[in-house]
Amino acid sequence: MYYSSTFARCEVQALAAYNAGLSIEAVQQKYAVSRVAKLGSNENPLGISPNALAALTAAAPLAALYPDQSCSLLRTALAHKLAIDEQRLVFGNGSEDLLSIICRVFLDHGDHVVTILPSFGLHIIYPQAAGAQVIGVPMGSDMRIDVQTLMAAVTPRTRLLMFSSPSNPVGSALTGSELQYIIDHLPAHTLLVFDEAYFEYANGEAGYPDALQLLQNSQCHFIVLRTFSKAYALAGLRIGYGITSDPGLAQLIDRLRTPFNVNRCAQAAAVAALADVQHLTQSVTHVRAERQRMETFLRERLGLNPIPSLANFIFFESPLAADSVNQSLLQQGVIIKPWTEAGYCQYLRVSVGSQQDNSHFMQALEHALQR
Ligand SMILES: *Cc1c(COP(=O)(O)O)cnc(C)c1O
């Protein structure tokens, strides 16, 4: 007997499945609830910018034609906004795509990747798929990245140092001096992949550094990853980008991407979303106000200890196992993300959604914890 799993490389056979959570329709059906608050995927509750929607609609009739493989319009707009050379940009079908490409370009069997725990799943799954060994460095007891311990884990075998700041799932971020410590201790053979998926939410908050600027002032080899999925509200279109320390890195990444990895509609919508500063500002303002309301509720009403977040989600420890709280929330029509990583099994991550969905969540959580 030859099992289908044995066709796969052994790294693939050993991989954990990515936990993407449930859809609204699936929860409505399974739990017989009519109203569902989807707060598990950090989506923007304000929805797509009207300008981006118009651009998307205008692009749709050209769907029969392949897209511009170099994302020229978006490239020019972003390079201008970031004041960088266009050749330092890379684009992906979501920044997930870039994470996957980066792992395939830079990692060889036996290489080490250092990341932080708790972690964004793909920072572990993609390196493992490439045959690398992932070294996870737990956050400190204050749930902040402990840069000394982190850099102590970097060895001659470390090819990538890869993590998110603000951290998904925790929401805390490096300060400028912490990032500088990393820069000062990063060996020349280690590439820093700095995932700033939540940049727009954190940008301008007290203590949040201009990471790109600090990195550009250093000798480090780096890729800063950003996305249109979160604050720019285009998660369904799949488009993200990377800013590399030099055009040579960008060229390497371009060698392994599929030539037309960013579709026509995504490119058009992203150009318009980037220009719609007002929609971005509204989105960020909304999240900051609602996040504060939710944090206060968790702390004062439920006696919990939510971790201060610079992103559009809140990570908190529950007195009960995350799985059982999750079941109760689902029965009440609320989707959040229960953490399943060893050591964090009582933690839940909830996205900051619409006012109505957030209230639905708060009520349901209070009920879940009373049982
Ligand atoms: C959401 C997220 C991504 C993926 O973003 P896409 O551009 O939608 O692929 C990458 N990194 C982190 C840390 C995220 O939270």
pTM of the model: 0.96
Residues 6 or more apart whose CB falls under 8 angstroms from that of 359 comprise: none
Whether residues 41 and 117 fall in one domain: no
What's the 318 CA to ligand 1 centre distance in angstroms? Answer: 25
Contact 252, 100 (CB under 8 A): no
Read off the tokens for 113.
Answer: 């990747």
Of the pLDDT bands very low, low, confident and very high (cuts 50, 70, 90), residue 38 is very high
Q: Please give the DSSP secondary-structure letter assigned to residue 53.
A: H
- Sheet of 347-351, strand order: 313-317, 347-351, 337-338
The pLDDT, as a whole number, for residue 1 is 66
227 CB near ligand 1 (under 6 Å): yes
Whether residues 212 and 354 fall in one domain: no
190 CB near ligand 1 (under 6 Å): no
The atom of ligand 1 lying closest to the CA of 228 is 7
Whether residues 43 and 59 fall in one domain: no
Whether residues 65 and 25 fall in one domain: no
Whether residues 136 and 283 fall in one domain: no
Whether residues 188 and 256 fall in one domain: yes
- What confidence tens digit (pLDDT) does each residue in 313-328 have? 999 999 999 999 999 9
C-alpha to C-alpha distance for 230 and 197, rounded to whole angstroms? 7
User: In a mutational test of the pocket of ligand 1, which residue from 120, 263, 312, 337 has the highest number of ligand atoms less than 8 Å from its CB?
Assistant: 120
Q: Mean of the pLDDT values across residues 72-98?
A: 98
Cα Rg of the chain (Å, integer): 21
Give the domain range for residue 118: 50-275
- What confidence tens digit (pLDDT) does each residue in 202-217 have? 999 999 999 999 999 9
Last residue of a domain, one of 275, 295, 319: 275
Read off the tokens for 275.
Answer: 């220009």
| Among protein residues, the one whose CA lies closest to atom 6 of ligand 1 | 94
Whether residues 208 and 346 fall in one domain: no
The CA–CA distances, whole Å, from 349 to 77, 120, 121, 168, 205 equal 34, 12, 14, 9, 21
Identify the CATH number of the domain in which residue 270 sits.
3.40.640.10
Task: Say which residue, 20 or 351, is predicted with more confidence.
Answer: 351
Whether residues 167 and 218 fall in one domain: yes
The atom of ligand 1 lying closest to the CA of 98 is 9
Whether residues 157 and 220 fall in one domain: yes
- What confidence tens digit (pLDDT) does each residue in 121-174 have? 999 999 999 999 999 999 999 999 999 999 999 999 999 999 999 999 999 999
Q: What share of the chain is helix, strand, coil (3-state, %, to 5)?
A: 45, 15, 40
Q: Mean of the pLDDT values across residues 59-75?
A: 97
Q: Mean of the pLDDT values across residues 112-124?
A: 97
Whether residues 242 and 260 fall in one domain: yes
DSSP codes of every residue in 273-342: HHH-HHHHHHHHHHHHHHHHHHHHIIIIIT---PPP-SSSEEEEE-SS-HHHHHHHHHHTTEE-EE--ST
C-alpha to C-alpha distance for 65 and 241, rounded to whole angstroms? 22
Is the peptide bond between 118 and the residue preceding it cis, with omega within 30 degrees of 0?
Answer: yes
What's the 94 CA to ligand 1 centre distance in angstroms? Answer: 7
Last residue of a domain, one of 213, 244, 275: 275
The pLDDT, as a whole number, for residue 19 is 74
Neighbours of 226 (CB within 10 A): 24
The atom of ligand 1 lying closest to the CA of 239 is 7
Whether residues 285 and 211 fall in one domain: no
Last residue of a domain, one of 275, 309, 331: 275
Q: Where are the beta strands (DSSP E) in the chain?
A: 37-38, 89-92, 112-117, 133-138, 158-164, 191-195, 222-227, 240-244, 313-317, 334-335, 337-338, 347-351
Contact 51, 42 (CB under 8 A): no
4 pLDDT above the threshold of 90:
no
Domain count, the chain: 2
User: In a mutational test of the pocket of ligand 1, which residue from 230, 234, 239, 314 has the highest number of ligand atoms less than 8 Å from its CB?
Assistant: 230
Identify the CATH number of the domain in which residue 359 sits.
3.90.1150.10
40 CB near ligand 1 (under 6 Å): no
Residue 252 belongs to what H/E stretch? helix 247-256
Of 200, 199, 195, the C-alpha closest to 277 is: 200
Contact 128, 19 (CB under 8 A): no
C-alpha to C-alpha distance for 277 and 261, rounded to whole angstroms? 26
235 CB near ligand 1 (under 6 Å): yes
Whether residues 109 and 54 fall in one domain: yes
DSSP codes of every residue in 205-231: STT---HHHHHHTSS--EEEEEESSST
Is the peptide bond between 61 and the residue preceding it cis, with omega within 30 degrees of 0?
Answer: no
The pLDDT, as a whole number, for residue 301 is 97
